[in-house]
Amino acid sequence: MPMEKTFDAAEAEARLYEAWEKAGCFTAGANASRAETFCIMIPPPNVTGSLHMGHAFNNTLQDILVRWHRMRGFDTLWQPGQDHAGIATQMVVERELAKAGKPSRREMGREKFLETVWEWKQQSGGTIINQLKRLGASCDWSRNAFTMSGAPGAPAGEEGNFHDAVIKVFVDMYNKGYIYRGKRLVNWDPHFETAISDLEVEQVEVDGHMWRLRYPLEGGATYEHPVEWDEDGNPTAFETRDYLVVATTRPETMLGDTGVAVHPEDPRYKHLIGKTVRLPLCGRSIPIVADDYADPEKGTGAVKITPAHDFNDWEVGQRTGLRAINVMTTRAAMWLKDNPDFAEGCDPDLVAKAIERLDGTDRYEAREAIINEATDDGWLDGIDSDRHMVPHGDRSKVAIEPYLTDQWFVDTAKIVGPALDAVRDGRTKILPEQHEKVYFHWLENIEPWCISRQLWWGHQIPVWYGPSKEELDAYPAVYSGLPQSFCAPSFEAARELASQYYGEDVQIGEFPSTGPARSYAFGWNGPKLSIDLQRDPDVLDTWFSSGLWPIGTLGWPEQTDELNKYFPTDVLITGFDIIFFWVARMMMMQLAVVDQIPFHTVYVHALVRDEKGKKMSKSLGNVLDPLELIDEFGADAVRFTLTSMAAMGRDLKLSTQRIAGYRNFGTKLWNAARFAEMNGVFEGYAPDGTIPQPAETVNTWIIGETARVRQTVDDALAAYRFNDAANALYAFVWGKVCDWYVEFSKPLLMDGTPAQQAETRATMAWVIDQCLILLHPIMPYITEELWGTLGQRDKMLVHADWPTYGPELIDAQADREMNWVIGLIEEVRSARAQMHVPVGLQIPMLFTELDAAGRAAWDRNEALIQRLARIESLEAAETLPKGCVTIAVEGGSFGLPLAGIIDVAEEQARLEKTLAKLEKELGGLQGRLKNPKFVESAPEDVVEETRELAAAKGEEADKLRAALARLAELA
RNA sequence: GGGUGAUUAGCUCAGUGGUAGAGCGCUUCGUUCACAUCGAAGAUGUCGGGAGUUCGAAUCUCUCAUCACCCA
C-alpha cells in the first residue's frame, strides 16, 4: 500500500506517544549504554496551570536535550512534577466553592477545606501533564513529583515524601539559625490576608493624586516660606507660616503618622527640628525629625512619616526613634476602635470622633472621608494629579499594604555566599552570560526572605509554642507575650524538646492551632503543671518547597539510588522571569542543605511574544494556545518553530505562518521518504549501523554532507544553540537531500546499472535514516512514524543509536565535483529562465573549453546534468555560433545554441549584468591584494583564499567579456 | 534614576574581524510519475546616525538617537 501524501499528525501523535510510554521508553535509564548520567528537572508548573506558549517553548528545549542524550546512550532522567501553588490553588478552590454555593473556607474549617483541595488536585491537577504529553515531552511520568506529596491528609496516590524534605530543611535551617521569626513590615495582600514576598509584588503605574495637607506647628513656632524667586532660583520674598505642608498619595495613613521628617540642612526647617506639629483629626503631637530621606527639592521638603504603613517611613522611624502605629486591619480597613496604640497621645474627643466616622471603613473610603474633612476644616493645602507606581499583588491584583506583622524569615545573608561563589567560580554556568549579572545583582543585595503565609494550603510551619519559663515563674503577675518556640519535624519530637525545657514532670499536650499565631495554654492541676503547645498556623511560601525541587524529587532526605545517581543534576532550562524566585533560591538551598550545586548549567530562555512583539496576555487577547496550534499544525511543527527561533537571549515573535512553514518541512521530509519507499529503497534494507561505501560520486557526496550536518547538530546542541541545530537540519534535509540528492538519484535508480541501483538504494536508505535520527529530538512524531513505516527495526527511533561518524566521511573530491555539477546546472537553469526558454524544451549544449576535471565531472554525471538542466547533448565547438547563450563556470565555457529563440539584446543585457556584479566583487578582491599591508598582516590562508577567488572570478569575467565581444561582432 | 539588551532585505530574524545570509512575503514561469503543504528563476541592503581602532568593521571602542525589558 503506498504511503499517504502527508503525515496525519492528529491521528499518529496520540498513538505514538502511547507506544513510547507503554514500552517504557522514557523511564529513568531507558536505553542507557554508558555510565554517564544526564538529568533535567522540569521547572514545576503550577498544579492549577495549563500549558501556555512559554511552557511549550521551555519543555521543547528540555525534550530536545533529553532525547538527544537518551539516544546517545546516557543514563537519562527527565524528572517531571508540579508545585502546589499556595495562593493560586487556594484561590481556585475557594472560587469553585463559592460558585457551587458550598460553605466557604472559613465555614468548613481548615481540615475539611484541605480535603477539598486534595479532591480538586486529584481531579484537575493532571491537566498540564496531559498537555505536556501532547507536546511530546519524554518525561519519566512514573516519577511524577508534587511539592505537597506526603503532607498530612494527603490521600492515596500522594504518598511521596516531599513534605518530609520540606519540614526537615525547615528544622535544620532553624537549628542552624538561618530561620527566624520577627516583626517587620511585609508586603501584605489585603485580599488574601497573607504576607507575600517582594517578588510577588508587581509595580503598576496608576493615575492618582498628591494631596497636600497642613499640619499646624505647636508651641507658636513658625517659619518663613519662600513665595518669590529671582532668575537664579534664590528666594526673594517670604510669607510666615504657622503650619507645615506635607504631601501624600495616601492620606488614609495619616492616622498612623508619628513624625514629620525634614532634611537636616534644609534652611527653611532647620530651626524646627525637635519641635512638634499637631496631627489633624486626632490631635496627636508628633515630632519634626531630621533625616536625609526628606528631599528638599521634592514637594515642600517636609514628609509625613508613617512607620507602620510605608517601607521608607519604617526606615526613617528606625533611625529617628519614632513610634510605629498600625491603623489598619488585615483587610486594609481602618482600625481605630480598641486600638490602644492609636489612641495613645491623642485627644480623647477627637479619637471618639474619628472612630465614629472612620473605624472599619475601607482604606479608599477612608481616604475620601479624610480629604472631605480636610477640605471642610481648611487643612487641605491643595491637590496635584500624580502618576505613580503602586504595588499590587500578582495574584489578587489589589494594592499591597505594607503591614507590620510577625513573620518567619530566612536570613538569606547567611546562605547567599556559596550560591554566589558557585556561579563566580564557574561551577554553575548561567547562559546567556548576561543573566549572571542579574543573578549577582540580586543576590548581592538580597533582603531577608519572608517565608510564612497566612494560608491553609501549604506546608504548615513545624513550630509549636508554649509559655516561657520566666512567664511560668512569674505567673500570674506577667504575661510576656513572648512564647517559647519548639521547632521539630513532628509534635512528638516537639514534645520531647518541650519536656527537656520544662522538665520531665510537666504534662504536655497539643492544642489545635485554630486561633491566632503564637497562642498556648497552661494551668496547674494541683502541683502538676500542664501545658498545651499550639502549632504555628501559618504555612510556608510555595517557593520554599520548590527551592528543594532538585533533591526533593529524587527522594531526599532518603538516600535513594536516584539521588546518588542523578544529583547534582545537569541542566536547568527556565525562563528569565524566575531567576530570583527559583533559580537563585535553589542554588542557595541546595548548597545550604546538601552542600552541592543543584546543576552545572542554567539555560535561561527568552519570552514568547505574539507576531507584533507584544507580550502574550489574556487581557490583550493575543494569546496563542499551543494546544490549538498542535491541533492545527502538529506538535512537530510547533516544536520545530520554537526551536528554530530559540536564538539565545532573543525574544520569539511567533506567527502561525512560520509554523505552517515548518509543517511543510515535515511534509517535505515525508515525501522524500515516500519517494524512497516507492523506489524500493527500503526493500530488504537491514540497518546494522554500517555506513555505505558507494562508488558513485553523488552517493559519496551525500554521505559526506550527512557527516557534516551531524557534526553541526552535535556542536550546536552541546552549546545550547538550538536554532543552529534546527536550521542546519532544515537546510540539509530540504536544501541538500530533497533539492539535489533525490533528483540526482532518479537517473541512477531508474536507468542505472544494477550495481548503481543497488548502491544508490543503500545510500538513500542510510541517508534518510540519518535524517530521521538527527531530526528526532526536535520532531519526534513524524520521524518515529517514518522509522516504523519504512523498515523493520530492532528498536523504536526514540532509542536509536545517535551517530558518531565525522569528517572522515567527507570526500573532498566528491564535494568539489558535485558543487561544480550543481553550479553548472544552476547557471544553465538561470540562463534558460532569463532567456525565456520553455521549461520543458530539451536543448543541445556546446563547449569551447573544458578542463580535465570538468570533463571528468561531466562524464561521471552526464545523466544528472542532462536531466536537471534539460540538456539533450554535449558537443565540442571551435566557436559558439550566432544566437548562443554563454555559460561560464570554473574550468569550462559552455554555450546554448538558441538561434531564433533568444533575443540578442537581452542576452547582452544578461551578460553585462552578470559581468558588472563580477567586476564589482573582483574590484574589492584586487583592491585588497594590491594593498601591501593586507598581504603582510592578514593571515596566510586568508590571503591565499583571496588570491584563488580573484583568479577564479577573473577567469569567469574573461569568459563573459569574450562572449560579449562575440555578441557585439555578430549583432 | 540605575541596569541590560536591541536597531541587518517589505516582515521575522541568523550572522563575535576576512565574498552580507535564511525563512516568510513579493514578481515571472511551471502541475514530467516524492511532494502545489511543491518546483524553477528573479527583485529587494549607505547592516540606526556619527566618529575611532585595524591592512580590513554588520562584528571591537566611543558617542548620539530610537525601542524594549528588568530593578528602584
Closest-lying nucleotide for A741 based on CA to C1': B34
Residue in the structure block whose three cell numbers are 523506489: A679
Closest-lying nucleotide for A827 based on CA to C1': B41
- Chain B nucleotides near the protein (CB, 7 A): 3-6, 12-15, 18-20, 22-25, 28-30, 32-43, 54-56, 69-72
Per the CB < 8 A criterion, the answer to whether A385 and A247 are in contact is: no
Per the CB < 8 A criterion, the answer to whether A132 and A626 are in contact is: no
Report residues 223-262 of A contacting strand B, contact meaning Cβ closer than 7 Å. Answer: none
Residue whose C-alpha is closest to residue A571's, from A749, A751, A431: A431
Measure A39 CA to B60 C1' (Å): 39
Closest-lying nucleotide for A721 based on CA to C1': B14
Report residues 861-920 of A contacting strand B, contact meaning Cβ closer than 7 Å. Answer: 913
A941 touches strand B (CB under 7 A): no
Q: Kindly tell me if the per-residue pLDDT of A777 is higher than 70.
A: yes
The mean pLDDT value for A287-307 works out to: 84
Q: What is the tens place of the pLDDT at every residue in A229-274?
A: 888 778 888 888 888 888 888 888 888 888 888 888 888 888 888 8
- pLDDT value at residue A94: 86
Cα–Cα distance, A608 to A629 (Å, whole number): 14
The mean pLDDT value for A107-125 works out to: 88
A304 annotated as ligand-binding: no
User: A194-402 has which CATH code?
Assistant: 3.90.740.10
Per the CB < 8 A criterion, the answer to whether A289 and A320 are in contact is: yes
A437 touches strand B (CB under 7 A): yes
Lowest-confidence pick of A17-21, A46-50, A612-616: A612-616
Measure A694 CA to B33 C1' (Å): 27
Measure A729 CA to B22 C1' (Å): 13
- pLDDT value at residue A700: 95
- pLDDT value at residue A971: 60
A284 touches strand B (CB under 7 A): no
The mean pLDDT value for A525-544 works out to: 85
Measure A790 CA to B33 C1' (Å): 20
Average pLDDT, chain A: 87
Measure A323 CA to B32 C1' (Å): 92
Closest-lying nucleotide for A311 based on CA to C1': B72
Report residues 731-790 of A contacting strand B, contact meaning Cβ closer than 7 Å. Answer: 731, 734-735, 738-739, 742-743, 746
Residues A395-398: contacts with CB under 8 Å, at least 24 apart = A395/A87, A395/A88, A395/A91, A395/A189, A395/A192, A395/A196, A395/A200, A396/A87, A396/A91, A396/A189, A396/A191, A396/A192, A398/A189, A398/A190, A398/A191
- pLDDT value at residue A647: 77
- pLDDT value at residue A349: 87
Burial class (CB in 10 A: 0-12, 13-18, 19+), A389: exposed
Closest-lying nucleotide for A833 based on CA to C1': B41
* Degrees, nearest 5: CA angle A393-A395-A396: 65
DSSP SS3 for A336: coil
A727 touches strand B (CB under 7 A): yes
Q: What is the tens place of the pLDDT at every residue in A619-672?
A: 566 667 889 999 999 999 999 999 998 877 677 777 888 899 999 999 999 999
Between A118 and A607, residue with greater pLDDT = A118
A270 touches strand B (CB under 7 A): no
- pLDDT value at residue A773: 96
Closest-lying nucleotide for A442 based on CA to C1': B71
- pLDDT value at residue A804: 93
Q: Kindly tell me if the per-residue pLDDT of A516 is higher than 70.
A: no
Cα–Cα distance, A865 to A693 (Å, whole number): 23
Closest-lying nucleotide for A671 based on CA to C1': B34
The mean pLDDT value for A361-386 works out to: 86
**pLDDT band at A553; cut points 50, 70, 90:** very high
Closest-lying nucleotide for A201 based on CA to C1': B71
Measure A836 CA to B40 C1' (Å): 12
Measure A949 CA to B35 C1' (Å): 37
A631 touches strand B (CB under 7 A): no
A842 touches strand B (CB under 7 A): no
**pLDDT band at A172; cut points 50, 70, 90:** very high
Report residues 338-397 of A contacting strand B, contact meaning Cβ closer than 7 Å. Answer: 389
**pLDDT band at A615; cut points 50, 70, 90:** low
CATH level 3 topology of A640-810 = Isoleucyl-tRNA Synthetase; Domain 1 (1.10.730)
Q: Kindly tell me if the per-residue pLDDT of A60 is higher than 70.
A: yes
Cα–Cα distance, A178 to A291 (Å, whole number): 32
Cα–Cα distance, A939 to A593 (Å, whole number): 53
Closest-lying nucleotide for A655 based on CA to C1': B12
**pLDDT band at A520; cut points 50, 70, 90:** confident
DSSP SS3 for A306: coil
- pLDDT value at residue A380: 82
Q: Kindly tell me if the per-residue pLDDT of A228 is higher than 90.
A: no
Measure A868 CA to B41 C1' (Å): 14
Whole-angstrom CA distances from A908 to A470, A828, A885, A903, A961 are: 108, 16, 9, 9, 10
A647 touches strand B (CB under 7 A): yes
Measure A26 CA to B7 C1' (Å): 44
A964 touches strand B (CB under 7 A): no
Q: Kindly tell me if the per-residue pLDDT of A611 is higher than 70.
A: no
Which part of chain A is CATH 1.10.730.10? 640-810
Measure A276 CA to B66 C1' (Å): 51
- pLDDT value at residue A484: 85
Is CATH 3.40.50 what the domain over A903-971 is classified as, yes or no?
no
The mean pLDDT value for A150-179 works out to: 90
Measure A777 CA to B29 C1' (Å): 38
Within a 13 Å sphere around the CA of A426, how many CA atoms are in the beta-carbon half? 0
Which part of chain A is CATH 3.90.740.10? 194-402
- pLDDT value at residue A517: 63
Closest-lying nucleotide for A825 based on CA to C1': B40
Q: Kindly tell me if the per-residue pLDDT of A612 is higher than 70.
A: no
**pLDDT band at A610; cut points 50, 70, 90:** low
- pLDDT value at residue A503: 83
Q: Kindly tell me if the per-residue pLDDT of A613 is higher than 60.
A: no
- pLDDT value at residue A909: 82
Cα dihedral sign, A215-A220-A221-A227: positive
A293 touches strand B (CB under 7 A): no
Cα–Cα distance, A564 to A161 (Å, whole number): 17
Measure A716 CA to B16 C1' (Å): 16
Share above pLDDT 90 across residues of chain A, in percent, rounded to a whole number: 38
Closest-lying nucleotide for A437 based on CA to C1': B4
The mean pLDDT value for A354-368 works out to: 86
A218 touches strand B (CB under 7 A): no
Q: What is the tens place of the pLDDT at every residue in A439-487?
A: 888 888 888 888 988 888 999 999 998 888 877 777 765 566 678 889 9
Residue in the structure block whose three cell numbers are 488614609: A252
Q: 10 Å Cβ neighbour count for A279?
A: 25
Measure A648 CA to B7 C1' (Å): 17
Closest-lying nucleotide for A8 based on CA to C1': B37
- pLDDT value at residue A66: 97
Q: 10 Å Cβ neighbour count for A4?
A: 11
- pLDDT value at residue A799: 96
Per the CB < 8 A criterion, the answer to whether A818 and A741 are in contact is: no
* Residue at minimum CA to C1' distance from nucleotide B4: A434
Backbone angles phi, psi at A484, to 5 degrees: -90, 135
Q: Kindly tell me if the per-residue pLDDT of A337 is higher than 90.
A: no
The mean pLDDT value for A298-304 works out to: 82
DSSP SS3 for A839: coil
- pLDDT value at residue A614: 58
**pLDDT band at A970; cut points 50, 70, 90:** low
Cα–Cα distance, A161 to A151 (Å, whole number): 8
**pLDDT band at A374; cut points 50, 70, 90:** confident
A618 touches strand B (CB under 7 A): no
Measure A779 CA to B38 C1' (Å): 21
Closest-lying nucleotide for A199 based on CA to C1': B71
A650 touches strand B (CB under 7 A): yes
Closest-lying nucleotide for A924 based on CA to C1': B19
Q: What is the tens place of the pLDDT at every residue in A737-769?
A: 999 999 999 999 998 999 999 999 999 999 999
A315 touches strand B (CB under 7 A): no
3-class SS string, A751-809: HCCHHHHHHHHHHHHHHHHHHHHHHCCCCHHHHHHHHHHHCCCCCCHHHCCCCCCCHHH
Measure A634 CA to B36 C1' (Å): 20
* Residue at minimum CA to C1' distance from nucleotide B18: A942
Report residues 157-186 of A contacting strand B, contact meaning Cβ closer than 7 Å. Answer: none
Share above pLDDT 70 across residues of chain A, in percent, rounded to a whole number: 97
Dmax (CA) of chain A: 131
Per the CB < 8 A criterion, the answer to whether A288 and A260 are in contact is: yes
**pLDDT band at A951; cut points 50, 70, 90:** confident
A951 touches strand B (CB under 7 A): no
A152 touches strand B (CB under 7 A): no
